[in-house]
Structure 1
Amino acid sequence: MKYPNVFAITGVIGSGKSTVAKLLREAGETVLDADEYAKFILSEHYQEYPELVQELKQRFGDQVIHEGKINRKKLGELVFANKQKLEELNQLIHPRVRKLFEQDLLQYKGKRIFYDVPLLFEKNMQNDFAATIVVYAPEEIAIQRAANRLGLTKDQVKERMQNQISIEKKKKLADYVIENTQGMAELKEQVNMLLQTLENKYGTKQ
């Protein structure tokens, strides 16, 4: 186990990972986010990764670079419609995401951390963490939520979901499941119950 104080959170688009992360932060927990690291690399701080800009240009063409900046919208359109291209992008981004995550961990030594990892099971990383937590919502509910939140059609959401393990399989693989089907009050109660369970099994956070 690489990260014995870290609990990995995953799910699918629209299942409610971000909402659970928000509730955990409100409860005083530390939550790190793999997607935020990826955005950090591709958006605000792309200039710190000149070699990445060149690699993206070589693999995906000039269209993904606009005025020297990474065009995330165009890049997304390319990779979400093509599983092979998505895997190529992940191969470029994930090592850099992991490096940022591990750098942040240094300031939280011994403290309980939650880490939002969308591709936890897809990348076979589940054994790196103390335990895995899946935020669950039935696929149709997740699709509708994602379509509403992102302004996508249901077919576009389904296309993105095809690149991930199904939520039903993730639910079976998880150590803990948070059911996100009954509204905010019920979700908050489940988060609090999870925290109590983790404290009983792993000890209080430091």
Structure 2
Amino acid sequence: MIIGLTGGIASGKSLALREFSRCGARALALDDVARLQARRGGPAYHGIIKAFGPAVLDSSGEIDRSRLGRRVFASVSARRKLEKITHPVILREMRKQVCGRGGGPCVVDAPLLFEAGLQKEFDLTLLVAAGCGLQLSRLKRREGLSLVQARRRIAAQMPFSAKEKLADIVLRNKGSRKEFQRRIRQYYRALELIGA
């Protein structure tokens, strides 16, 4: 079974993926795949530079993700341009890695699962839900963003209500970290029981 894990920015997707992995699931984070594809020599590197110019490079010639992020989260057209470059190579790599991983459940953290129309790639979709206030505080702390920048990043994503209608299962992340991890383990055991 291939499970698509998604949710808003700073909702707890990475924590959920790590916990599924600890339970024994094969795990793949598409943000990690995207980083590798955008590194110098990667299939998306030259397309990103061509689209956004050398201003997105750091002193070593690598793409500076924070510079690029400021550009793409400030403009819908810039974000779409980046997605047009990166999504095909990320999807190709995801299919390659998922197919080459043997048996058992495979959980793929796909932040833009619904935005990119990837639900057909998965047997089951799980949406991690966290309140906007929690997302804002995590984003500010984790990324060092101002409140305005954090709100802009949240607003750039598909509304939660739209994602909720598309998801097979919604995982609420509103308690403690340990409580959320316990709930992930429960979901994993349920998946094992149904033979995923």
* TM-score, length-scaled by structure 1: 0.86
Please say which of residues 84-93 and 71-80 is displaced more in the overlay. 71-80
For the residues of structure 2 that align with 1:91 and 1:80, how far apart are their CA atoms?
A: 15
Superposition pairs of residues 174-189 of structure 1, within 5 angstroms? 174-189=167-182
Residue 114 of structure 2 aligns with which residue? 121
Aligned residues of 2:37 and 2:45 also touching (Cα < 8 A): no
Instruction: Could you tell me which runs of 5 or more consecutive residues in structure 2 were left unpaired when the two chains were aligned.
Output: none
Q: How many residues align?
A: 195
Superposition pairs of residues 36-51 of structure 1, within 5 angstroms? 36-43=32-39, 46-49=40-43
3-state SS of paired residue (2:14): helix
Cα displacement (A) at 1:131:
0.8
Residue 58 of structure 1 aligns with which residue? 50
Aligned residues of 2:36 and 2:42 also touching (Cα < 8 A): no
Superposition pairs of residues 7-156 of structure 1, within 5 angstroms? 7-43=3-39, 46-49=40-43, 52-66=44-58, 68-156=61-149
Residue 163 of structure 2 aligns with which residue? 170
C-alpha deviations, 1:97-152, integer Å up to 9, x for none? 11211221232244310000011111121122101001111112211112111111
For the residues of structure 1 that align with 2:68 and 2:178, how far apart are their CA atoms?
A: 37
Aligned residues of 2:26 and 2:106 also touching (Cα < 8 A): yes
3-state SS of paired residue (1:10): strand
* Cα distance change of structure 1 residues 171 and 131 upon mapping to structure 2, 3 Å threshold: same
3-state SS of paired residue (1:101): helix
Give, as a single letter, the amino acid of the residue that structure 1 aligns with 2:169.
Answer: Y
3-state SS of paired residue (1:164): coil
Instruction: Could you tell me which runs of 5 or more consecutive residues in structure 1 were left unpaired when the two chains were aligned.
Output: none
Q: Percent identity, please.
A: 28
* TM-score, length-scaled by structure 2: 0.90
